[in-house]
Amino acid sequence: MASDGGSCALISPCAFSPRSHQYLALSTQDGRLRLWDTLSNTLYQEYVPSAHLSATCTCLAWGPCRTIKDGPQRKKRKSEGAPHSDQLDLLALGTAAGTVLLYSTVKGQLHSKLDGGHDSKVNCVRWHPENNCLYSCSDDSHIVEWDLQTGKVKCKWKADKCAVSCLCLSPDGKMLLSAGQTIKMWDLETKEVYRRFTGHATAVSTLCFTTMRPPTHDTEGLYFLSGAAHDRLLSVWQVRSDGKDKNAVLSFTLTDEPIYVDLAVSQSKDEAVKLVVVCKDGQMHLYEHVLNGRCKKPLSPSCSVQVASPGSVGDGLPRPVPILAAALTMDKQALLLAYGSGLQPVIERTTLNAGETHVCLVRDIQASLTFRTETTFTKVKTPTVKADAKLLVPGLPGHSAPIKSTPLEIKRKPGSDTKEMSIEERLGVIDLSPTEGRKEVHKGGLPLQTDSFAVLLVQGLESSDSNILNKVFQTRKEVLIKKTVARLPIPAVLPLVQELTKRMQGHPYSGVLMVRWLKAVFTFHASYLSTLPSLMSQLGVLYHMIESRVKMFHKLSRLHGKLYLLITQIAAIDKSQSVAELDQTAKLVYEEDSSEEEEEGSGDEMLAEEEDSDHWEEEEVKEVSGWSKKEEGDGEEHSDEEMNIENKLNGDSDLEPDNESEEE
């Protein structure tokens, strides 16, 4: 029997070990490698690469069952003993940075690092069944053949014009399949294309040979299958010597695109091929068919398997559980299923009834995880405590000790008749308004301490009283929240986180208040939470909820930035246009008086102008007369005497001064 041996083009790459399927290798989304023991259903090993966040694992593949030596000069210790030829040793991991990591399962550490071959993300890695070689393909459209003895590139060639998404080696190691825009079959000796196959519109995610190569090394009768993204068909191709193999000979119908394939290779033409396919929707399909030429009608699965949980106690509705991987056992009569979460999967061996076409396995995942946690913690030795010893800590980490709350004690003056307040009265007098700088005071006039909030919170968590919890969670004071969480008993931390997670799933407005409490919990109780074995399952819902809510934040931020730039540019253009245009409106308007006042004003102005003109004329006359008087001053005396003589001769008497002026 042979299997796909690896996983590529998956959200979480995973693969069962070949032959006995003793281990399940699974890479998480943060780049961690985890090996699970399929027999005990427990974590066997965990490896965290140094660059697991920046260079996450994109694909993985188990090596053949043999031991690879470190080098010819290395001397073995006596404790190591003789090498085992059937021992699983190496696991190849392709990363997003273009490197290939070889992890040793025997040593439990990194064996070597292969770099310098790819410039982009590694999409698929495949081992040669016989030679000490490894093949990898990448987005840089190249295929690299690695020499594992030297850790260097043995051969590198360009396989396509675009990214090469998948690889597959023939069982005899003579032929290599690569998938880019088209599927190509390469002769590994000459590195030349032997055949080309077309038929997929999207990237091919699955390639696998279904039959052994004939002993005569003739390609006639060699079959392989392929599956692509967003394609609900698995196509089977036949390699023919006459070259008439352009189209698929048959196809298998699926419910969704394939993510994991395992099959039992047929040794002869009359032997049926058993095929197990896990789809993206979480279902598994089993096929059994004898490959004998073309089949026009697509083949349906002989059996479909789906896993579901019984549901909660309230509704009782079963919920589907996704299947991560599936494999056929050595005897081909049973199945090995891995389902549930990628962080902590559940591995189960099951036998299917041949007469059933659809099987639904109802499994309680929470109960199985709880049982595994309890069995794990039975190995931890709990210290014995004497009866007369006094514990200063409410509980030991990892133990569910009962929450014991101390009642609120109010100091009373001696002789006072004040009775102790009930919880309802305490809630009524607590003032949780956002006004700062004001102390909470009850009826007796004494301020409430921060311990009261911690006591009320513990009582609300124990009794699941929503009224008490609502009153406590409505506070907005950061100092009060921090002090309350800091004084919270250790066993009440996890119930508080569960209650906050439940409330955050409700109205989005409640998340604003709950985030403050979660921040305080992780700040003060992170050391305790890190010691819990079920932390991943407890915080898984919270993590996925936060991740889904902030998924669109980056895109919305980019959209906000673009809109802000657009609005500012429009405002700047409008402002420049308004400045460029001249303002035709008058800044100051002067209104004159009525028409009569205008006429009077005009008459006065005319008179003033005439007076001014007369004044200027008089000044001119005075100036001219002044110059003439100076010139004629001497002659006037002689003319006066002559005039007097003539007047006497004519008989004229002397005139009076007044009359003389009138005659003049």
pLDDT in tens, 3-62: 545 554 346 789 999 878 899 999 988 888 999 999 988 999 999 888 777 788 999 999
Q: Convert the pLDDT of each residue in 609-638 to its tens digit.
A: 555 555 555 555 555 455 555 545 555 555
Residues 6 or more apart whose Cβ sits within 8 Å of residue 300: 253
| Spatial distance between the Cα atoms of 139 and 203, rounded to a whole number of angstroms | 12
Give the residue carrying structure tokens 């999967």. Answer: 345
Q: Where are the alpha helices (DSSP H) in 130-280?
A: none
Residues 6 or more apart whose Cβ sits within 8 Å of residue 167: 124, 125, 126, 135, 136, 137, 143, 176, 177, 178, 179, 207
Summarize the chain as % helix, strand, coil (round to 5): 30, 25, 45
pLDDT number for residue 653: 47
Residues 6 or more apart whose Cβ sits within 8 Å of residue 195: 184, 185, 239, 243, 245
* Residue 473 to residues 200, 285, 476, 508, Cα–Cα distance (Å): 56, 49, 8, 15
| Spatial distance between the Cα atoms of 55 and 646, rounded to a whole number of angstroms | 145
Share of the chain above pLDDT 90, in %: 24
| Listed range (123-132, 281-290, 367-376) with the worst mean pLDDT | 367-376
Q: Do 350 and 343 touch, CB atoms closer than 8 A? A: no
Cβ burial of 244 (10 Å; 0-12, 13-18, 19+) is: exposed
Give the residue carrying structure tokens 């009826």. Answer: 443
Q: Between 493-504 and 535-549, two packed helices, what is the crossing angle to 10 degrees?
A: 30
pLDDT number for residue 181: 76
Taking Cα atoms as reference points, which of 257, 336, 352 lies closest to residue 16? 336
Say whether 129 sits in a helix, a strand or coil. coil
Taking Cα atoms as reference points, which of 313, 262, 306 lies closest to residue 24? 262
Q: Do 188 and 174 touch, CB atoms closer than 8 A? A: yes
Say whether 659 sits in a helix, a strand or coil. helix
Q: Convert the pLDDT of each residue in 285-328 to its tens digit.
A: 999 988 888 888 889 999 999 999 887 655 667 888 999 999 99
Residue 45 phi/psi, 5° resolution?
-145, 155
| Spatial distance between the Cα atoms of 650 and 648, rounded to a whole number of angstroms | 5
The token duo for 322 is 């996704």
E strand or H helix at 483: helix 478-486
* Residue 601 to residues 401, 538, 610, Cα–Cα distance (Å): 108, 99, 14
E strand or H helix at 168: strand 166-169
Q: Do 485 and 520 touch, CB atoms closer than 8 A? A: yes
The token duo for 586 is 């008058």
Give the residue carrying structure tokens 């985030």. Answer: 515
pLDDT: is 562 or 71 the higher one? 562
Name residue 223's amino acid.
Y
Residue 399 has pLDDT above 50, yes or no: no
Query: How far apart are the two ends of the chain, measured CA to CA in Å?
Result: 159
Share of the chain above pLDDT 70, in %: 67
pTM of the model: 0.55
Say whether 77 sits in a helix, a strand or coil. coil
pLDDT number for residue 268: 74
Residue 520 has pLDDT above 70, yes or no: yes
The token duo for 643 is 């005039």
Residue 401 has pLDDT above 60, yes or no: no
Residue 136 has pLDDT above 90, yes or no: yes
Residue 175 has pLDDT above 70, yes or no: yes
Q: Convert the pLDDT of each residue in 18-28 to its tens digit.
A: 878 899 999 98
Q: Do 448 and 423 touch, CB atoms closer than 8 A? A: no
- Average pLDDT of the chain to the nearest whole number: 75
| Spatial distance between the Cα atoms of 373 and 531, rounded to a whole number of angstroms | 13
Residue 249's CB: how many other CB atoms inside 10 A?
Answer: 17
The pLDDT of 403-420, averaged and rounded, is: 47
| Spatial distance between the Cα atoms of 467 and 455, rounded to a whole number of angstroms | 14
The pLDDT confidence band at residue 363, using thresholds 50, 70 and 90, is confident
pLDDT number for residue 68: 45
Q: Convert the pLDDT of each residue in 327-354 to its tens digit.
A: 998 888 889 999 998 888 999 999 887 7
Residue 266 phi/psi, 5° resolution?
-75, 140
| Listed range (101-115, 479-493, 568-582) with the worst mean pLDDT | 568-582
| Spatial distance between the Cα atoms of 356 and 350, rounded to a whole number of angstroms | 14
pLDDT number for residue 467: 86
Range ranked top by mean pLDDT from 257-261, 361-365, 430-434:
257-261
Residue 603 has pLDDT above 90, yes or no: no
Range ranked top by mean pLDDT from 74-83, 222-231, 432-441:
222-231
| Spatial distance between the Cα atoms of 580 and 454, rounded to a whole number of angstroms | 67
| Listed range (82-86, 391-395, 411-415) with the worst mean pLDDT | 82-86
Residue 184 phi/psi, 5° resolution?
-120, 140
| Spatial distance between the Cα atoms of 200 and 180, rounded to a whole number of angstroms | 10
| Listed range (42-46, 439-443, 534-538, 617-621) with the worst mean pLDDT | 439-443
Rg (CA), the chain: 50
Say whether 183 sits in a helix, a strand or coil. strand
